[in-house]
Amino acid sequence: MTNERVRVLVVGTGLGGASAALFLARQGVRVLAVSKHRGTSPHPKATGQVQRTMELLRQGGVADEVRAGGAGHDAGLIIKVAESLRGRVFHTVVSQGDELDTPLSPERHGMASQDQVEPILVRRARELGADVRFRTELVSFRQDDDGVTARLLDRESGRTYEVRADYLVGADGHRSRVREALGVERDGRGTLSRHLGIVFEADLSDHIVPGAITLYYFQNPAFTGAFVATNTARRNVFTVELDPARESAADYPPQRCAELLRVATDVPDLEPEILETTEWEMAAWLSRRFRVGRVFLVGDAAKVTPPTGGLGGNTAVGDGYDLAWKLAAVLRGEAGDGLLDSYEAERRPYARLVVDGSFANYVQRFAPHLAGPDVPAPVDQHELTLGYRCRSTAVVIEDDDPAPMEDPNRPSGRAGFRAPHVQVEHGGKTGSTLDLFGDWVLLALDPAWRAAPVDVPELADPTGELARRYGTGPRGAALVRPDGVIAWRTTELPADPAATVSAVLDRVLDRAPAR
C-alpha cells in the first residue's frame, strides 16, 4: 500500500473542487484533487458566471478564458415562462437588451457552461502545481487531531493506497460520500421533481434570437419543462419533468423525445438528432454543517439548489475560493484554527439565501401550484452576489444592522461587505481597487498608515470616490481580506496605526498577539 503526503486532499473536481484546488495551488499549497470520473463534466449545464465569480476567476488568471468559452452569446439573455418557444408568454424574467452587467465591477458576466469551465479550472490548477487525478475514487477516510488519512482506489489498475493530508475538502456532489461518512444531515424541501435532460441538435436559428442565451421555462398542457440554446451551433438542451410514480427515462425513446421537442419548439416537422438523455433530480437541500473537524464541504456537497437562478455553480466557485485562502493562511502559520470556523459562519447563510431564492424562482417558473405564504421572497441577484455581508470572527462588525445584504449601488464600505470597485491611481496607472486584492491590503490615503504590517499601496484619489465609497474619509482606512471583503474600517487615524492594524489582524486571524 503506497502512502502519500499532501497538505489538502480535495475529493471531487467539479466547479467547487476544481476552484478549491486552483486557489490552494495558487498560494503554494500542496494539493491533491481526485475524481472517480474519467474527466470533467461533459454536460452543458450551470451556464453563466456572475460578476462576483468573474472577479474571483480574475485572481485565478482564467477570467478571460472563461469568458471566451461563452463566445457567441454576446446578444444578451432572454428568460421567459411560456407555453412553448413561440406560444403564449406567461412571464418575462429577462428581456433581450436588459443589462446584466453593472458598473460595480470591472468584470463582465461570463456565459460559459460547466463543460467549458471545468477543464479551464483543472488545467490552471495543474499549471499552478496541483495534482489532479481522474478515475480515482475515495474509498474511506478517518480523521484525528493531526490530520486525515484517506484510502483511494485507482479505478484503472484496481490498486488502493493511502494519502495523508492536513485537511480534506468534500466537493463530491449532491450524493456526497464525504458528507454521508461525516453523518452530516440536511434540511430543506428535498426532492422537488425529477427530470429527463435531452441534449439534441437541430437548426433553430429562425426560432430564437441569434447570439442570445435563450432560456424558456415551459408550462405546457402536454408537459412541464425547459429549453436552452447553447453556444455550440445547432446544439440545444431540453428538459421535461417526469412523474416518478408512473415513468422513467426508459419511457422516453428518441421518437417520443422528438415529438415533445416539436411541441416545445413549435416546429411540427422538426427532425432533431438526440445526442444524450440523462435523468436527474431537482432538489433543495442545505447541510447542517459545512465543517466537521478537519473536513469541509463545498459546492453541492454543502447545498443543493434548484437551477432556477443560475447560482449553484457560482456558489460552488465562491465556496472553493473562500475555503482556499483560509486554509492557506492556517497552513502557512499565519492564522489560527478559528479562522476556519468562519468558512461555515459565512458561507452557510449565503447558501441558504441562494437555495431560498432559487426555490422562489422554481415555484414561479415550474410549479405555480405551490405558491403560498411559505414560499420565500425572491432574492435580488445583484444584492446577493455583490451586496452580501459576511458575519463571522473574521470581520470586525461594529454596527447593529441585521440586514444580510445591502444595495451594492450604494455601498456603505462597512466591515463584512465586498470592497467596492473604484478607479484609483496607483503606480502611475489608473485601475480598479479590485486589482489590489488577493492578499491582505490596507486602503488608506494618509501616509501615516504605511507602517502597517500589510500591503498599503500608494493611492491617489483625485475625485474623492475612494474615501466616499469606503466611508473612510481622508484619514481613515479599510482593511481588505484576500477575498476582497472588508475586514475592518475606521474613519480616524489612531495614535499608532501599525499597532492598531496588528491588533485587528490578530483578532480576525485568530492568532496570538506578537510579543
**Residues with catalytic roles:** 217
Residue 101 has a CB neighbour count (10 Å cut-off) of 12
- CA–CA distance, 452 with 466 (Å, rounded to integer): 19
Neighbour-count burial of 234, counting CB atoms closer than 10 A to its CB (0-12 exposed, 13-18 middle, 19+ buried) = middle
Cell triple for residue 146? 493531526
Residue 433 one-letter amino acid: T
- CA–CA distance, 200 with 181 (Å, rounded to integer): 38
Element (H, E) at 68: helix 63-69
- CA–CA distance, 359 with 312 (Å, rounded to integer): 12
Residue 504 one-letter amino acid: V
CA gyration radius, the chain: 24
99: Cβ contacts below 8 Å, ≥ 6 apart = none
Beta strands (DSSP E) in 20-84 are 31-34, 77-82
Cell triple for residue 56? 474571483
Cα distances (Å, whole numbers) of residue 368 to 134, 189, 238, 361, 363: 41, 16, 20, 10, 5
- CA–CA distance, 46 with 121 (Å, rounded to integer): 15
Cell triple for residue 282? 431537482
Cell triple for residue 253? 425513446
> Quick check: 4 and 163 in contact, CB under 8 A?
yes
Residue 211 one-letter amino acid: G
Neighbour-count burial of 320, counting CB atoms closer than 10 A to its CB (0-12 exposed, 13-18 middle, 19+ buried) = buried
Cell triple for residue 339? 479562522
Residue with cell 405551490: 370
